[in-house]
């Protein structure tokens, strides 16, 4: 009877030991499997991130290749413009290249002072009997009045407001000539409003308008961060 009880106890101990051993094995295998799954996820993320980086590098390489292919055509176009007779005929200085006319016509800087000087010395003067009563050119808001970089504006042509008043006592046709000078200017101007008054023998012309400039385009390489 005692031997039977002893044999049963021994079997229960062996079963319990086997259960513990099985539990340890299952726990170990679970840890290995879990570690393997995590490692596979990290590897997959690394491969996916690497492919994204390679894709962005390929896009950059393609863009640079396209730009290099355009360079010869661009150089040919610039050379052709430098031989344009229409541009050469309106140069301010005969020693300037023809392309300088384009730069003079639409400057890259919002320089209202230079525009005021051009109006006063070139466009509103040179006609006998015409007197400049007043001339005002407004600094470009947000560009010149706070000292910021004018090239940081939008790439579209931007207006510079101006107003002037001219008068004549003996050459009313001179007012028309002044307007023609503004119209023929290589720099584009728009007259928004205009009025003419006559008092005694004096005729006065007042006008409000806009001149224009176009901020220079910046071409530069930039860094792009590809987040994992």
Greatest mean pLDDT range, 23-37, 111-125, 135-149: 111-125
pLDDT band at 157 (very low <50, low <70, confident <90, very high): low
Domain annotation covers residue 220 = no
Asked if residue 194 and residue 108 are part of one domain, the reply reads yes
What is the Cα–Cα distance from 9 to 12, expressed in whole angstroms?
Answer: 5
Domain annotation covers residue 92 = no
Q: What is the mean pLDDT of residues 5-31?
A: 72
Q: Which pLDDT value is given to residue 152?
A: 44
Asked if residue 127 and residue 48 are part of one domain, the reply reads no
Asked if residue 109 and residue 34 are part of one domain, the reply reads no
Domain annotation covers residue 3 = yes
CB 204 within 8 A of CB 197: yes
Q: Which pLDDT value is given to residue 133?
A: 95
Q: Which pLDDT value is given to residue 153?
A: 44
Asked if residue 205 and residue 118 are part of one domain, the reply reads yes
Q: What is the mean pLDDT of residues 190-213?
A: 93
Residue 189, pLDDT above cutoff 80: yes
What is the Cα–Cα distance from 185 to 104, expressed in whole angstroms?
Answer: 10
Domain annotation covers residue 64 = yes
Backbone angles phi, psi at 198, to 5 degrees: -125, 130
Residue 205 has a CB neighbour count (10 Å cut-off) of: 21
Asked if residue 32 and residue 120 are part of one domain, the reply reads no
Q: Which pLDDT value is given to residue 173?
A: 92
Domain annotation covers residue 222 = no
Q: Give the structural domain span for 180.
A: 100-213
Residue 82, pLDDT above cutoff 70: yes
């Amino acid at each position: 009877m005692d031997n039977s009880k002893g044999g049963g106890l021994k079997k229960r101990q062996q079963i319990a030991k086997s259960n513990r051993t099985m539990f340890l094995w299952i726990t170990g295998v679970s840890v290995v499997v879990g570690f393997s799954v995590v490692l596979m996820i990290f590897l997959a993320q690394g491969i996916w991130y690497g492919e994204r980086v390679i894709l962005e590098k390929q896009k950059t390489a393609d863009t640079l290749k396209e730009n290099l292919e355009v360079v010869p055509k661009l150089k040919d176009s610039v050379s052709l413009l430098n031989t344009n007779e229409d541009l050469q005929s309106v140069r301010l200085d005969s020693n300037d290249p023809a392309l300088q006319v384009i730069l003079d016509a639409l400057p890259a800087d919002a320089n209202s002072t230079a525009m005021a000087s051009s109006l006063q010395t070139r466009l509103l003067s040179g006609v006998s009997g015409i007197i400049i009563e007043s001339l005002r050119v407004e600094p470009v808001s947000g560009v010149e009045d706070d000292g910021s970089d004018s090239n940081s504006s939008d790439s579209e042509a931007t207006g510079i407001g101006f107003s002037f008043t001219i008068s004549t006592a003996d050459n009313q046709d001179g007012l028309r000539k002044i307007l023609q000078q503004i119209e023929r200017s290589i720099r584009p101007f728009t007259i928004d409003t205009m009025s003419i008054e006559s008092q005694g023998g004096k005729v006065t012309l007042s006008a409000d308008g806009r001149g224009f400039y176009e901020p220079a385009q910046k071409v530069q390489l930039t860094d792009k961060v590809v987040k994992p």
